A and B are shown apart, each in its own frame.
Chain A
């Protein structure tokens, strides 16, 4: 099995290289076609035309686009993403300080989406054919039709403003000191032995994670329900019943184990979308992640950051899809090489 996974990883890596090249080229060229002059942006507003022209030459903006891309790519491969025009800081370090926050947000949101999705799917399946089905069906469609930013606002209003149970801005309360070891706040606070900081961080994450998780769970629910319905038509379920197994055992061991496979493919795709979905949620909760960095960068036409963040999103989505495919391989014996 490990050989099969290794083979899959090799294959996917080979495919990932051209994908990254295409994405990076698109990012670079589209951003350069925009009517934004990086030279003018990187100089103070009172710079003269001559100064701007000199800066243009210095930045190599007079060269053909392809050549510019080549130079940029060579730099990127050396780990140099350039300097932010707005923040005047190294782009790579900016991305590296914000990426862990976004990963934490996305992973926990996905966890919540999976738990709500799988539990909801099982409940939806359980009530099939009863009168409760229509009501729960309506509920799941209602969940499905609300986007994550509405959930964000709703949760802020309810738990943040009305009930005042949870904080809804930033990562930590003012005055709480942040330990830095790996960059992952939750992990660092535990490593540094500061449960109070950890607890504070968790409280700040609850609302954004739930906002994202709830909005991504209904499709998991519905796919799991329908694949369970399919699986229950199969002979082995009937045969398991005829062997006198209990309904619970049949559902978990025979039904769910088969029905989870199509659900898993969907969850992989969902995770990719969810990672993109963090952007809006981060902005709403002033969560210091990559999404906020991206929005700032777009506002300021900070091209190096947009390029680097765009590329990071692309890499993360590729990694997620490879991980899901490997998991699929582990769970589905038919795909393993004998």
Chain B
């Protein structure tokens, strides 16, 4: 008996420029107490499935065929009143951004009370007890006045726990968790995933777990459905699908992710990107054909049928045996880093912020960065890992000169630039450039790409003529792998990955010797991430530069960086060659971090180190 069944479900969008398929040929059945993983890159239609279940599709989108049955009732044709009764009670959602999913002007208690009343809690008096019991089941510290706290007073992990407590308060039958951990730190992520699994077991709930992380899905799901451009590519039992992928896309996704164990292997970089909504309509044959490494002419002739691979395992590929033969390329070599005078040396740098200021009381200080020392050699890539609030980004700002250290020294190419005087600033500009995290907000939307990437010419005060600037821009774009015609586009006309390339090109324009990159691949799809990582390695080979690479993703750091610094609460708790630190961590915090990453082999048991003080999350 299945709880939720999709039969040939398809969703379409109708716009002024025509009708587009958004989701097609979706088939799955979710048994009670099971977890179904929906995996795919952004734009694949993962979230649209959640919205179809709730029937909250964006304007212009509608179900164009098939059925979606929940406990025998077709959700597609169900009247809105009946469906609204199911929502929040039998079908619940855990959102992606916990901080923004709670109303900022209501306390946690008020929101919990509203929800309890909604799901049929009638007596007024003991709602507090019931709320606290629900919070206790998600391991939130109670008694700490949690009910009277506003969402902004809690950390992201705590907000997510509140939302999970709300979701499970009615003992629902179906939970849809839409990337519930993407916005959270690795260590928190592991705990939240484990928590959802724990609650799911307690109530025997069915869960749809939407994620872009195939490895994570393989760990916690019973069944996985891989979506590509709105159509299932492969569906099967989680471990079977992960260990013997039968669709080239599944295999490529796996290989695009850097490994955490064994030899450092190359990343499989898929060319270009997934076709968008408008492009899908005009495609004939397999949607993945244009990017598939094993494509044959027959692939482009007709949409591939779903072939039975094994028990409950189907793949939309005409040659399912081919997936296993796709092999990763050899890894890009890591050049020997010259030992000698370091390019950058940071000596006992401290940055403190005054948190409360008063004439009468003693001022309290918060040390975001506490006596951190490290060196960066010529051509060396150094990774900085740690959770949010560990001081990674502050350290980056100190190096670039966006902030002034409260103590310590920063020496760059043999020159002490700590004081950051006028000439120090000019010197810094020539030597170090920063790539910001979010290309969306880092690129001025009113400037063309050519003008953005050559901003360094402006900054240096050289008024180059326009043709020279355009030539330089085209040269930079060629280096980062964008077509020359991109020079005259605006950022809004580029994809996320292309924007991040422009962001990198801008930093490279001044030919810096050091690049400081703050989480530049987080938030990008794995295939785009792989492209960017290889771009950085290739650029290092071609032109040579050192990089300080800040990331919360350990596998990326393992792939890219020669050395790694582990930061915790403003201090470097461990540092060394990446391979050594990751294979034999010495500090307890490094071990916690490493255990939070799901293992490469789905057969291995994942037991993240969940020891940790949740209460530390209260701000």
Using CB atoms and an 8 Å cutoff, list the residues of chain A in contact with chain B.
Answer: 129, 234-236, 238-246, 253-254, 257-258, 261, 331-334, 338
Contact = CB atoms under 8 A, between A and B. Distances in A.
Interface residues of B, number: 31
**Which of A235, A236, A253, A261 counts the most B-chain CB atoms under 10 A from its CB?**
A236
B93 A244 contact: no
B43 interface: no
B150 A245 contact: no
B102 interface: yes
B332 interface: no
A241 B83 CA distance: 11
25 contacts: A234-B100, A235-B95, A235-B100, A236-B100, A238-B101, A239-B102, A241-B54, A242-B87, A242-B88, A243-B92, A244-B84, A244-B86, A244-B87, A244-B88, A244-B118, A246-B84, A257-B103, A257-B105, A257-B106, A258-B103, A258-B105, A261-B105, A333-B104, A333-B150, A338-B619
Interface secondary structure of B, over-half rule: loop
A253 B103 CA distance: 10
A25 B465 CA distance: 54
B458 interface: no
| Nearest 9 A/B pairs, CB to CB | A244-B87, A244-B88, A243-B88, A235-B100, A242-B93, A333-B150, A239-B101, A235-B101, A236-B103
Nearest to A333: B150
B153 A338 contact: yes
Contacts of B93: 239, 242-243
A333 B87 contact: no
Interface string B96-135: 1100111111110000001100100000000000000000
Contacts of B106: 253-254, 257
A140 B202 CA distance: 55
B532 interface: no
B152 A333 contact: yes
Contacts of B56: 238, 241-242
Contacts of B87: 241-244
Given A242-B54, A244-B86, A245-B88, A334 B152 contact: yes
A188 to B, nearest CB: 39
Interface string B438-477: 0000000000000000000000000000000000000000
Contact of B95 (A239, A254, A258): A239
Given A253-B114, A338-B153, A333 B103 contact: no
A333 B154 CA distance: 13
A234 B100 CA distance: 7
Contacts of A258: 103-105
A239 B102 CA distance: 8
A17 to B, nearest CB: 20
Nearest to A261: B105
Contacts of A338: 153, 619
Interface string B32-66: 00000000000000000000001010010000000
Given A242-B54, A242-B87, A334 B150 contact: yes
B546 to A, nearest CB: 39
A3 B288 CA distance: 62
B118 A245 contact: yes
B583 interface: no
B85 interface: yes
Contacts of A129: 59
